[in-house]
Amino acid sequence: MAEHAAAVAHQFDDAEQQRRAAELGMWIFLATEVMFFGGMFTAFTAYRWLYPAGFAHASRHLDVLLGGINTVVLIGSSLTMVLAVHGARVGHRRMLLVCLGLTMLLGSVFLGIKAIEWTHKWEDGLVPGLRFALTGADAGPEELFFLLYFAMTGVHALHLVIGICVVGVILALAWRGHYTPAYHNPVEVTGLYWHFVDIVWIFLLPMLYLIGRHGP
Amino acid sequence: MVRSGVRLYVAVFAALLVLTVATVSVSYVDLGPLSVVVALTIAFTKALLVVLFFMHLRESSGLVWVVAGGGFFWLAILIALTMSDVLTRGWLPVSGP
Protein backbone atom coordinates (compact mmCIF):
# COMPACT_ATOMS: atom_id res chain seq x y z
CA MET A 1 0.00 0.00 0.00
CA ALA A 2 2.81 2.38 0.86
CA GLU A 3 4.38 1.77 -2.55
CA HIS A 4 1.07 2.52 -4.27
CA ALA A 5 0.62 5.75 -2.32
CA ALA A 6 4.13 6.86 -3.15
CA ALA A 7 3.83 6.08 -6.85
CA VAL A 8 2.55 8.55 -9.42
CA ALA A 9 -1.00 7.59 -10.42
CA HIS A 10 -1.25 6.51 -14.05
CA GLN A 11 -3.24 9.57 -15.20
CA PHE A 12 -0.38 11.93 -14.29
CA ASP A 13 2.80 12.60 -16.25
CA ASP A 14 4.94 13.04 -13.15
CA ALA A 15 4.89 13.69 -9.40
CA GLU A 16 4.89 17.47 -9.85
CA GLN A 17 1.76 17.35 -12.01
CA GLN A 18 0.10 15.07 -9.44
CA ARG A 19 1.01 17.51 -6.64
CA ARG A 20 -0.38 20.47 -8.58
CA ALA A 21 -3.62 18.59 -9.30
CA ALA A 22 -4.10 17.80 -5.59
CA GLU A 23 -3.41 21.42 -4.65
CA LEU A 24 -5.80 22.81 -7.28
CA GLY A 25 -8.50 20.32 -6.32
CA MET A 26 -8.39 21.37 -2.67
CA TRP A 27 -8.47 25.08 -3.58
CA ILE A 28 -11.56 24.48 -5.76
CA PHE A 29 -13.23 22.68 -2.84
CA LEU A 30 -12.31 25.59 -0.56
CA ALA A 31 -13.86 28.04 -3.07
CA THR A 32 -17.16 26.14 -2.67
CA GLU A 33 -16.66 26.34 1.10
CA VAL A 34 -16.30 30.13 0.83
CA MET A 35 -19.77 30.19 -0.75
CA PHE A 36 -21.11 27.74 1.87
CA PHE A 37 -20.07 30.00 4.76
CA GLY A 38 -20.71 33.07 2.58
CA GLY A 39 -24.47 32.55 2.68
CA MET A 40 -24.44 32.83 6.47
CA PHE A 41 -22.07 35.82 6.43
CA THR A 42 -24.41 37.52 3.93
CA ALA A 43 -27.47 36.79 6.07
CA PHE A 44 -25.64 38.20 9.10
CA THR A 45 -24.65 41.36 7.19
CA ALA A 46 -28.20 41.94 5.91
CA TYR A 47 -29.94 41.40 9.27
CA ARG A 48 -27.33 43.41 11.15
CA TRP A 49 -28.12 46.28 8.77
CA LEU A 50 -31.87 45.88 9.33
CA TYR A 51 -31.67 45.48 13.15
CA PRO A 52 -28.51 47.32 14.31
CA ALA A 53 -29.67 47.80 17.92
CA GLY A 54 -30.86 44.22 18.48
CA PHE A 55 -27.67 42.76 16.99
CA ALA A 56 -25.45 45.09 19.05
CA HIS A 57 -27.29 44.26 22.29
CA ALA A 58 -27.21 40.51 21.60
CA SER A 59 -23.49 40.66 20.73
CA ARG A 60 -22.71 41.97 24.24
CA HIS A 61 -23.89 38.66 25.73
CA LEU A 62 -20.84 36.96 24.15
CA ASP A 63 -17.61 36.46 26.11
CA VAL A 64 -14.90 38.46 24.33
CA LEU A 65 -12.16 36.96 26.52
CA LEU A 66 -13.07 33.35 25.63
CA GLY A 67 -13.50 34.34 21.96
CA GLY A 68 -10.07 35.99 21.97
CA ILE A 69 -8.40 33.03 23.72
CA ASN A 70 -9.96 30.68 21.18
CA THR A 71 -8.60 32.83 18.35
CA VAL A 72 -5.08 32.51 19.78
CA VAL A 73 -5.58 28.73 20.19
CA LEU A 74 -6.72 28.33 16.58
CA ILE A 75 -3.92 30.52 15.19
CA GLY A 76 -1.52 28.37 17.22
CA SER A 77 -2.99 25.25 15.62
CA SER A 78 -2.40 26.82 12.20
CA LEU A 79 1.26 27.33 13.14
CA THR A 80 1.65 23.68 14.21
CA MET A 81 -0.16 22.58 11.02
CA VAL A 82 2.17 24.55 8.74
CA LEU A 83 5.16 23.23 10.72
CA ALA A 84 3.85 19.68 10.15
CA VAL A 85 3.71 20.40 6.42
CA HIS A 86 7.23 21.81 6.65
CA GLY A 87 8.34 18.62 8.45
CA ALA A 88 6.85 16.54 5.64
CA ARG A 89 8.54 18.69 2.99
CA VAL A 90 12.02 18.38 4.48
CA GLY A 91 11.55 14.78 5.64
CA HIS A 92 11.70 15.61 9.37
CA ARG A 93 9.63 12.70 10.70
CA ARG A 94 9.49 13.74 14.37
CA MET A 95 8.48 17.32 13.47
CA LEU A 96 5.69 15.98 11.24
CA LEU A 97 4.31 13.60 13.88
CA VAL A 98 4.61 15.95 16.88
CA CYS A 99 3.10 18.92 15.03
CA LEU A 100 0.17 16.87 13.70
CA GLY A 101 -0.49 15.72 17.28
CA LEU A 102 -0.28 19.30 18.59
CA THR A 103 -2.67 20.45 15.85
CA MET A 104 -5.25 17.88 16.97
CA LEU A 105 -4.71 18.89 20.61
CA LEU A 106 -5.16 22.63 19.94
CA GLY A 107 -8.21 21.94 17.77
CA SER A 108 -9.71 19.96 20.66
CA VAL A 109 -8.93 22.78 23.13
CA PHE A 110 -10.80 25.17 20.82
CA LEU A 111 -13.84 22.86 20.78
CA GLY A 112 -13.67 22.54 24.58
CA ILE A 113 -13.71 26.32 25.08
CA LYS A 114 -16.50 26.59 22.49
CA ALA A 115 -18.50 24.00 24.45
CA ILE A 116 -18.04 26.05 27.66
CA GLU A 117 -19.34 29.13 25.82
CA TRP A 118 -22.34 27.23 24.45
CA THR A 119 -23.10 25.91 27.96
CA HIS A 120 -23.09 29.48 29.31
CA LYS A 121 -25.47 30.52 26.54
CA TRP A 122 -27.81 27.66 27.51
CA GLU A 123 -27.67 28.63 31.20
CA ASP A 124 -28.29 32.29 30.33
CA GLY A 125 -31.31 31.34 28.22
CA LEU A 126 -29.87 32.51 24.91
CA VAL A 127 -30.66 29.47 22.76
CA PRO A 128 -33.32 30.32 20.13
CA GLY A 129 -36.33 28.05 20.05
CA LEU A 130 -35.28 25.85 22.98
CA ARG A 131 -34.52 28.19 25.84
CA PHE A 132 -34.69 31.87 25.00
CA ALA A 133 -35.27 34.11 28.02
CA LEU A 134 -34.70 37.62 26.58
CA THR A 135 -37.79 39.78 26.48
CA GLY A 136 -38.21 43.39 25.50
CA ALA A 137 -38.36 45.50 22.39
CA ASP A 138 -35.31 43.87 20.77
CA ALA A 139 -36.04 40.25 21.68
CA GLY A 140 -36.89 39.25 18.10
CA PRO A 141 -33.69 40.56 16.45
CA GLU A 142 -31.65 39.28 19.42
CA GLU A 143 -33.04 35.78 18.89
CA LEU A 144 -32.14 36.13 15.20
CA PHE A 145 -28.57 37.07 16.19
CA PHE A 146 -28.26 33.98 18.35
CA LEU A 147 -29.78 31.79 15.64
CA LEU A 148 -26.99 32.98 13.30
CA TYR A 149 -24.42 32.70 16.14
CA PHE A 150 -25.23 29.04 16.73
CA ALA A 151 -25.51 28.26 13.01
CA MET A 152 -22.15 29.87 12.18
CA THR A 153 -20.15 28.69 15.21
CA GLY A 154 -21.85 25.27 14.98
CA VAL A 155 -20.97 24.69 11.34
CA HIS A 156 -17.48 26.03 12.01
CA ALA A 157 -17.08 23.59 14.93
CA LEU A 158 -18.32 20.75 12.69
CA HIS A 159 -15.59 21.66 10.20
CA LEU A 160 -13.07 21.53 13.03
CA VAL A 161 -14.31 18.09 14.17
CA ILE A 162 -13.88 16.84 10.59
CA GLY A 163 -10.45 18.50 10.45
CA ILE A 164 -9.31 16.82 13.69
CA CYS A 165 -10.46 13.41 12.33
CA VAL A 166 -8.65 13.96 9.01
CA VAL A 167 -5.46 15.09 10.78
CA GLY A 168 -5.77 11.93 12.92
CA VAL A 169 -5.83 9.74 9.80
CA ILE A 170 -2.86 11.66 8.35
CA LEU A 171 -1.02 11.20 11.65
CA ALA A 172 -1.62 7.43 11.55
CA LEU A 173 -0.41 7.20 7.95
CA ALA A 174 2.61 9.40 8.70
CA TRP A 175 3.40 7.13 11.66
CA ARG A 176 3.51 4.17 9.26
CA GLY A 177 5.90 6.10 7.03
CA HIS A 178 3.58 6.81 4.09
CA TYR A 179 4.96 10.28 3.45
CA THR A 180 8.30 11.37 2.03
CA PRO A 181 9.60 14.73 0.79
CA ALA A 182 8.79 13.44 -2.72
CA TYR A 183 5.21 12.42 -1.88
CA HIS A 184 3.16 14.03 0.91
CA ASN A 185 0.22 15.56 -0.98
CA PRO A 186 -2.36 14.48 1.67
CA VAL A 187 -0.41 16.42 4.34
CA GLU A 188 -0.32 19.53 2.11
CA VAL A 189 -4.05 19.55 1.24
CA THR A 190 -5.07 18.75 4.83
CA GLY A 191 -3.07 21.83 5.82
CA LEU A 192 -4.97 23.93 3.26
CA TYR A 193 -8.31 22.77 4.74
CA TRP A 194 -7.16 23.44 8.30
CA HIS A 195 -6.01 26.98 7.51
CA PHE A 196 -9.31 27.69 5.74
CA VAL A 197 -11.22 26.75 8.92
CA ASP A 198 -8.88 29.11 10.80
CA ILE A 199 -9.72 31.94 8.35
CA VAL A 200 -13.46 31.45 8.88
CA TRP A 201 -12.92 31.99 12.60
CA ILE A 202 -10.74 35.05 11.91
CA PHE A 203 -13.89 36.64 10.43
CA LEU A 204 -16.34 35.21 12.98
CA LEU A 205 -14.47 36.82 15.91
CA PRO A 206 -14.95 40.47 14.81
CA MET A 207 -18.43 39.97 13.32
CA LEU A 208 -19.99 38.11 16.26
CA TYR A 209 -17.96 39.31 19.25
CA LEU A 210 -16.37 42.68 18.54
CA ILE A 211 -18.22 45.11 16.27
CA GLY A 212 -21.40 45.30 18.37
CA ARG A 213 -19.74 46.36 21.62
CA HIS A 214 -20.63 50.06 21.23
CA GLY A 215 -23.24 52.04 19.36
CA PRO A 216 -27.02 51.75 19.50
CA MET B 1 11.74 34.62 -3.50
CA VAL B 2 12.22 33.95 0.20
CA ARG B 3 12.08 30.25 0.97
CA SER B 4 9.54 29.04 3.50
CA GLY B 5 11.19 28.27 6.77
CA VAL B 6 10.37 27.76 10.41
CA ARG B 7 11.46 31.32 11.26
CA LEU B 8 9.14 32.79 8.63
CA TYR B 9 6.19 30.75 9.96
CA VAL B 10 6.88 31.84 13.53
CA ALA B 11 7.11 35.48 12.36
CA VAL B 12 3.71 35.19 10.61
CA PHE B 13 2.28 33.58 13.76
CA ALA B 14 3.61 36.48 15.86
CA ALA B 15 2.05 38.99 13.45
CA LEU B 16 -1.31 37.15 13.71
CA LEU B 17 -1.08 37.27 17.52
CA VAL B 18 -0.35 41.01 17.51
CA LEU B 19 -3.29 41.66 15.14
CA THR B 20 -5.61 39.54 17.33
CA VAL B 21 -4.64 41.48 20.47
CA ALA B 22 -5.05 44.72 18.47
CA THR B 23 -8.55 43.93 17.19
CA VAL B 24 -9.78 42.78 20.63
CA SER B 25 -8.25 45.85 22.33
CA VAL B 26 -9.69 48.29 19.77
CA SER B 27 -13.16 46.80 20.33
CA TYR B 28 -13.15 48.33 23.83
CA VAL B 29 -12.84 51.82 22.30
CA ASP B 30 -15.94 53.43 20.82
CA LEU B 31 -14.97 54.38 17.25
CA GLY B 32 -18.53 54.73 16.01
CA PRO B 33 -19.10 53.37 12.50
CA LEU B 34 -15.30 53.12 12.04
CA SER B 35 -15.18 50.12 14.40
CA VAL B 36 -16.55 47.85 11.65
CA VAL B 37 -14.00 49.19 9.16
CA VAL B 38 -11.08 48.69 11.56
CA ALA B 39 -12.23 45.19 12.65
CA LEU B 40 -12.73 43.97 9.07
CA THR B 41 -9.47 45.54 7.83
CA ILE B 42 -7.57 43.66 10.56
CA ALA B 43 -9.49 40.45 9.75
CA PHE B 44 -8.67 40.74 6.03
CA THR B 45 -5.01 41.40 6.85
CA LYS B 46 -4.91 38.29 9.05
CA ALA B 47 -6.66 36.21 6.38
CA LEU B 48 -4.18 37.45 3.76
CA LEU B 49 -1.22 36.45 5.97
CA VAL B 50 -2.69 32.95 6.45
CA VAL B 51 -3.48 32.54 2.74
CA LEU B 52 -0.11 33.79 1.46
CA PHE B 53 2.24 32.14 3.96
CA PHE B 54 0.49 29.26 5.77
CA MET B 55 -1.44 28.13 2.67
CA HIS B 56 1.61 28.88 0.50
CA LEU B 57 -0.39 30.79 -2.10
CA ARG B 58 2.69 32.88 -2.95
CA GLU B 59 4.38 29.68 -4.15
CA SER B 60 1.34 28.55 -6.13
CA SER B 61 0.64 28.69 -9.87
CA GLY B 62 -1.48 31.38 -11.47
CA LEU B 63 -4.35 28.90 -11.81
CA VAL B 64 -4.55 28.51 -8.02
CA TRP B 65 -4.53 32.31 -7.65
CA VAL B 66 -7.50 32.47 -10.06
CA VAL B 67 -9.44 29.87 -8.01
CA ALA B 68 -8.64 31.57 -4.70
CA GLY B 69 -9.50 35.01 -6.09
CA GLY B 70 -12.62 33.58 -7.74
CA GLY B 71 -13.91 32.27 -4.40
CA PHE B 72 -13.71 35.71 -2.83
CA PHE B 73 -14.97 37.47 -5.99
CA TRP B 74 -18.13 35.34 -6.02
CA LEU B 75 -18.58 35.99 -2.29
CA ALA B 76 -18.33 39.71 -3.05
CA ILE B 77 -21.05 39.32 -5.73
CA LEU B 78 -23.27 37.46 -3.24
CA ILE B 79 -22.92 40.15 -0.58
CA ALA B 80 -23.02 43.15 -2.97
CA LEU B 81 -26.17 42.09 -4.84
CA THR B 82 -27.96 41.04 -1.65
CA MET B 83 -27.11 44.30 0.08
CA SER B 84 -28.07 46.33 -3.02
CA ASP B 85 -31.59 45.06 -2.33
CA VAL B 86 -31.55 45.41 1.47
CA LEU B 87 -29.95 48.88 1.46
CA THR B 88 -32.31 50.39 -1.13
CA ARG B 89 -35.67 49.00 0.04
CA GLY B 90 -36.83 52.35 1.38
CA TRP B 91 -35.74 54.46 -1.60
CA LEU B 92 -38.91 54.12 -3.68
CA PRO B 93 -42.36 54.41 -2.17
CA VAL B 94 -44.20 51.23 -3.03
CA SER B 95 -47.83 50.97 -2.07
CA GLY B 96 -48.63 47.67 -0.45
CA PRO B 97 -51.68 45.57 -1.26
Q: How many domains does chain A have?
A: 1
Select from A23, A195, A206 the Cβ nearest to the Cβ of B60: A23
Q: What is the pLDDT at residue A1?
A: 43
How far B7 CA sits from the closest chain A CA (Å)? 10
Q: Is residue A95 part of a domain?
A: yes
Select from B24, B40, B61 the Cβ nearest to the Cβ of A68: B24
Q: How far apart are the C-alpha atoms of A167 and A80, rounded to whole Å?
A: 12
Give pLDDT tens digits for A160-198: 999 999 999 999 999 999 999 999 999 999 999 999 999
Give the residue from A184, A82, A91 showing the smallest Cα distance to B50. A82
Q: Is A206 near chain B, with CB under 8 Å?
A: yes
* Domain enclosing residue A91, as ranges: 14-210
Contact B13 A78 (CB under 8 A): yes
* Model confidence, pTM: 0.93
Confidence of residue A24 (pLDDT cuts 50, 70, 90): very high
Hey, of A55, A79, A95, A184, which one would you mutate to test binding to chain B, going by the most B CBs within 10 A of its CB? A79
Confidence of residue A91 (pLDDT cuts 50, 70, 90): very high
Q: Is residue A5 part of a domain?
A: no
Asked if residues A57 and A215 have their Cβ atoms less than 8 Å apart, the reply is no
Q: Is residue A216 part of a domain?
A: no
Where are the extended beta strands (E) located within A76-201?
126-127, 131-132
Q: Over range B69-82, report the average pLDDT.
A: 96
Where are the extended beta strands (E) located within chain A?
126-127, 131-132
Q: Is residue A41 part of a domain?
A: yes
Q: Over range B80-84, report the average pLDDT.
A: 96
Q: Which CATH number goes with the domain that contains A154?
A: 1.20.120.80
Q: Is the pLDDT of residue A103 over 60?
A: yes
Q: Is the pLDDT of residue B5 over 50?
A: yes
Select from B5, B46, B72 the Cβ nearest to the Cβ of A34: B72
